[in-house]
Copies of this chain bind each other. A is one copy, B any other.
Amino acid sequence: MAGIRRLVLDVLKPHEPSNLLLAKILSELEFVDGVNLSLYEIDQNTENVKITIVGDDMDFDEIKKTIESLGGVIHSVDEVVAGKRIVETVLTEQDR
């Protein structure tokens, strides 16, 4: 296990194709182990979703292409985890 291991993406997308389809297609990428797609805002024509993708040596360009091919746009990459071991962010005195 190495390379990119987890990504958290903020994505804007149209209502169709559905979030079910987007999550399923992302989960079928060869280097992906699992996908969590959470809806956090709905407007008339679009919705904002937070997508967490876990895998091994993940190819960001392919993830991006997959999302765009279904009409989505990545607004920001909120977290990147890389390496032999999954590292969680640590709460420090600066965060209190």
User: Which residue from B2, B28, B36 sits with its C-beta under 8 Å from A88?
Assistant: B36
Copies of this subunit: 7
From residue A77, how far is it (CB to closest CB) to chain B in Å?
A: 6
Nearest Cβ on chain B to A55's Cβ, whole angstroms = 9
Please determine whether A76 and B34 come into contact, CB atoms closer than 8 angstroms.
no
User: Does A92 reach chain B (CB closer than 8 Å)?
Assistant: yes
Establish whether residues A32 and B83, one from each chain, have CB atoms under 8 Å apart when the complex forms.
Answer: yes
- A77's partner among B4, B19, B60 (CB-CB below 8 A) is B19
Residues of A within 8 A of B (CB): 2-6, 8, 10, 18-20, 23-24, 26-28, 32-40, 42, 50, 52-54, 60, 76-90, 92-96
